[in-house]
Amino acid sequence: MSAAGGRRSRPPAGGAKAWHGRLAGRTAPGLEAYSHSLDQDLQYWREDLAGSRAHARMLRTIGILSPAELLSIEQGLTRIAAELEASRFPFVTGDEDIHMAVERRLVELAGAAGAKLHTARSRNDQVALDLRLFTRRAQVDLVAGIAEVQQVLVRRSREHRQALLPGYTHLQRAQPTTLAHHLLAHVEMLQRDCDRLLDAHRRTDASPLGAGALAGSSLPIDRDQVARALGFTQIAANSLDAVADRDFALETLFACVLVAQHGSRLAEEMVIWASAEFGFVDLPDAWATGSSLMPQKKNPDVFELLRARAGRVLGDLVAACTILKALPLAYNRDLQEATPPLLDGVRVTAAGLAMLSAVMAAIRFDTERMAEAALDPQLLATDVAEHLVRKGVPFREAHTIVGRAVRAALRRGVTLADLEPSTWQRIHPAAGADVLQLFDARGALRRRELPGGPGPRTVGRALQRAELLIRRNRRQVELLRARLP
């Protein structure tokens, strides 16, 4: 109890606000309902308790808490954790957020010791701490989820290293490539997402606790101790910024936008490939959806949802950015409203990654249909032009020549491969019978062993590179997870 003598600490009665000294009467019920944030807070109660635990230990170190008080706080927090875990926490009307609900409950459980926990702390720095802890975990989990998708794509690439695929530009057949080369493009896109998330993590990794409402505290708190206890490598360098900043949330949301966007690009391809007209992929029945009306339907809904959710995450980013715009320092309640988009964006993105891993592992590639399309001789028109270049024809001229040949073939209703040597000769003296041997999609790939290209040996090296990246991503996940409280 208090050194202030026999006077009894009277914590506010159940439901009264922490500031009942200053503001008379009860909060208007409409305002309670409108402003409470408990639903969202429940997604990071673990972080809130971890922060309180570290804060309490620091208060013990500097002598604000006695050993007995610390013990009773820690026991109280342990009990609260169990209650929250089991969804049995006794919320009361007036618990407007997780911070005040926990403090109220702690006072019930630990008496005056509980009433000391908020010493030298404000909800402003407390919520900033909770969100940074939550965001650190989310970033790490997202990297793990991406690595999983990458692993599936690499496995499917290995299965289909030889599978020919038409490369498209403008959704028009362009040049032959392979399914492996195509899937590895998606692996590269996802790798940038990992890197972005890890960069965002570096900037999230700074403890705001100790910033108080905005100006720290007049008590001799130790910000470094708290930071270390929670696995932060640094503390936020300016107390005003520490409570006013949500860059880490916006940056993480943006990283989610790109993850979701990359997912949407793959999803769009799968929707198109699953059409009767393309027929490049087929979903196992367990991964497809039927129609309530049309008995024959088998729909790739999962990819449509993945595609659509890229829009949802973008909406989340816009909401958060618009909310932050033009806010004066330091804390404003608007900041509370930047949290739901963060939570939603992270959740939707993580779920999308899990779905992508599962469905890309399950999908069947119809490599015969792909190969059939890839063997279209038109896809080798560029090879003919480059063949002419090797014979000294300036490229632009070679391009025009082959363009004319294409037109001629179309007019005659034949493919480029059907034109006779004599026709080629007429078109250009440099083009002769040797042109015909170019119409071989596999040969075209072997001619493309340049770095990054679709040549079989190059793709083999790309697979090794991809596996290396995945291992590195996973190692990062392990290291950063170990530091989470």
For its own copies, the binding residues in 103-162 under the rule CB under 8 A are: 103, 107, 112-124
Figure out which of the listed residues 83, 188, 440, 467 binds its own copies, where binding follows CB under 8 A: 188
Give the binding range for its own copies (CB under 8 A) out of 79-87, 130-138, 141-149, 444-452.
444-452
**Is 207 assigned a catalytic role?**
no
Phi/psi at 167 (5° precision): -80, 140
- The answer to the question of residue 163 lying near its own copies (CB under 8 A) is no
Lay out the site mask for its own copies across 236-265 (x = CB under 8 A, - = otherwise): xxxxxxxxxx-x--xx--x--xx--x--xx
- The answer to the question of residue 201 lying near its own copies (CB under 8 A) is no
Figure out which of the listed residues 67, 68, 88, 450 binds its own copies, where binding follows CB under 8 A: 450
CA distances from 96 to 35, 38, 130, 435 (A): 7, 6, 16, 77
- The owner of tokens 């560029």 is 382
Residues in 414-433 at the binding interface with its own copies, rule: CB under 8 A: 416, 428-430
Give the binding range for its own copies (CB under 8 A) out of 81-89, 132-140, 202-210, 470-478.
202-210
How far apart are alpha carbons 312 and 306 in whole angstroms? 10
Residues in 14-53 at the binding interface with its own copies, rule: CB under 8 A: 17-28, 30-31, 33-35
Figure out which of the listed residues 14, 15, 340, 456 binds its own copies, where binding follows CB under 8 A: 340
**Distance of closest approach, residue 131 Cβ to its own copies, in angstroms:** 15
- The answer to the question of residue 385 lying near its own copies (CB under 8 A) is yes
The residue among 214 and 229 lying less far from its own copies, judged by its C-beta, is 214
**Is 170 assigned a catalytic role?**
yes
- The answer to the question of residue 454 lying near its own copies (CB under 8 A) is yes
Q: Which two tokens stand for residue 113?
A: 């010791």
- The answer to the question of residue 181 lying near its own copies (CB under 8 A) is yes
- The owner of tokens 């250009």 is 428
CA end-to-end span of the chain = 30
Task: Give yes or no for a cis peptide into 319 (omega within 30° of 0).
Answer: no
Closest alpha carbon to 77 in 58, 61, 54: 54
SS (H, E, C) 211-244: CCCCCCCCCCCCHHHHHHHCCCCCECCCHHHHHH
Phi-psi group of 262: left, alpha or beta (phi > 0 → left; psi -120 to 50 → alpha; rest → beta): alpha
- The answer to the question of residue 386 lying near its own copies (CB under 8 A) is yes
The residue among 91 and 278 lying less far from its own copies, judged by its C-beta, is 278
The residue among 84 and 164 lying less far from its own copies, judged by its C-beta, is 164
- The answer to the question of residue 269 lying near its own copies (CB under 8 A) is yes
How far apart are alpha carbons 214 and 349 in whole angstroms? 33
How far apart are alpha carbons 443 and 439 in whole angstroms? 8
**Distance of closest approach, residue 45 Cβ to its own copies, in angstroms:** 17
**Distance of closest approach, residue 115 Cβ to its own copies, in angstroms:** 4
Q: Which residues of 122-135 are buried (b: 16+ CB within 10 A; e: fewer)?
A: bbbbbbbbbbbbbb
Q: How many helices (H) and strands (E) does the chain have?
A: 19, 4
Residues in 272-301 at the binding interface with its own copies, rule: CB under 8 A: 272, 274-279, 285-301
Q: Which of 2, 275, 291, 422 is catalytic?
A: 291
Q: Enumerate the active-site residues.
A: 170, 291
